Amino acid sequence: MNDVQENNTVPASYIHIRRNFYLVKRKRDGADTNTGCTNCNANSSCRENCECRGLSLSCSKTCHCSEMCTNRPFRKEKKIKVVKTNSCGWGAVSSESIEKGDFVIEYVGEVIDDALCEQRLWDMKRRGDQNFYMCEVRKDFTIDATFKGNSSRFLNHSCDPNCKLEKWQVDGETRVGVFSLQSIKAGEPLTYDYRY
């Protein structure tokens, strides 16, 4: 059954951004913003055996590995399309084939603290909003894509998802990426487990 329908309606407006917009003081997890793999050499392409990959630590701009390094997952997003579904509101589908383990898109929005997150949730409840686009990363670090974000905000929930969220350190900054759990065909809905 195809859950995607094509029509001319558009989703609620939001401002498209490429990177997180901080409404709280940006905290770098490392004192040195050039943190990254230090075990790589110029001949390395940092494949699955890269020590930092296991720690979800991206090679940095100052890393000694080659341009063929595969431990810089946030460099190239996959093409995805926002669509209206038959039963889940707005959703996202892949516009190209995706291999298992591929980086799909970064989850971006406004980075807010717990107090602002609670206030926004109460405001949404008062307005009767039924959709919200928040991803809690840790205490006082929630990515809210309600007002500013990208297409990642349209990935729907599934108890049997084909994607997952991963928290990475990129040049000392916490970033959240959507990664494929399996091979995904063009036109297939992209989902992850919201873990309610």
pLDDT at 145: 97
Higher pLDDT, 88 or 9: 88
Angle at 12 between CA 104 and CA 97, to 5 degrees: 20
Q: Please report whether residue 56 resides in a domain.
A: no
pLDDT at 44: 65
How many whole angstroms separate alpha carbon 122 and alpha carbon 104?
32
Residue 5 above 80 pLDDT?
Answer: no
Higher pLDDT, 55 or 146: 146
pLDDT at 1: 37
How many whole angstroms separate alpha carbon 94 and alpha carbon 162?
11
Note whether 91 and 4 are within 8 A (CB).
Answer: yes
Q: Please report whether residue 40 resides in a domain.
A: no
The mean of the pLDDT values for the chain is: 87
What's the CATH code of the domain at 85?
A: 2.170.270.10
How many whole angstroms separate alpha carbon 35 and alpha carbon 30?
7
- Give how many domains the chain has, as a whole number: 1
Residue 195: pLDDT band by 50, 70, 90 thresholds? confident
Q: Please report whether residue 126 resides in a domain.
A: yes
Domain region containing 185: 15-35+74-192
